[in-house]
């Protein structure tokens, strides 16, 4: 595990996964098709623990002001700050291991369990699993 610093808040938009975890792929397909399959942008998965279980959102980086509204989606913010991260290469062949990576990260005493888990799909090969660090626990 490494520390990763996200320098600025990221505005993202997208769709909530109806059937977690089985529906993740369909949600990303829907999102990519909605924005014309544009590949020159970052895609993310955001998972939040709720009193009903997990809420998962498939989201894309907002490229211009108003883009979220153009697609009639909800906007989310991935907060700037320090994250604990694990890089997963060749992630398309290892999607079953993502939950295990986050499970291991949650055993680290410095993470902020009130913040969402973030999957940053940087490209077709590289993905970052990220959990926000609680500065008061370092």
Q: Kindly give the confidence (pLDDT) of every residue in the chain, 138 residues in length, as a single tens digit, with 9 standing for 90 and above.
A: 899 999 999 999 999 998 887 888 898 888 888 887 665 788 999 998 877 778 899 999 999 889 999 999 999 999 999 999 999 999 989 888 899 999 999 899 899 989 999 999 998 899 999 999 998 876
Which pLDDT score is estimated for 18? 84
Collapsed DSSP state (helix, strand, coil) of residue 138: coil
Report pTM.
0.90
Residue 44: asked if its preceding bond is cis (omega within 30°), the reply is no
Which pLDDT score is estimated for 117? 94
In the chain the domains, ranked by start, together with CATH numbers, are: 2-137 (3.20.80.10)
Instruction: Show the CA angle centred on residue 33, arms to residues 30 and 37, nearest 5°.
Output: 135
DSSP 36: T
């Amino acid at each position: 595990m490494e520390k990763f610093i996200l320098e600025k808040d990221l505005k993202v938009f997208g769709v909530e996964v109806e059937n977690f975890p089985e529906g993740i792929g369909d949600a990303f397909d829907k999102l990519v098709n909605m924005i014309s399959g544009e590949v020159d942008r970052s895609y993310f998965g955001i998972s939040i623990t709720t009193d009903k279980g997990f809420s998962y959102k498939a989201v894309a980086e907002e490229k211009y002001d108003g883009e979220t509204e153009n697609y009639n989606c909800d906007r989310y913010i991935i907060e700037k700050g320090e994250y604990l991260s694990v890089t997963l290469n060749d992630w398309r062949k290892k999607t079953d291991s993502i939950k295990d990576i986050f499970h291991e990260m949650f055993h680290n005493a410095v993470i902020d369990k009130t913040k969402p888990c973030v999957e940053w799909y940087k490209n077709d090969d590289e993905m970052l699993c990220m959990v926000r660090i609680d500065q008061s626990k370092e």
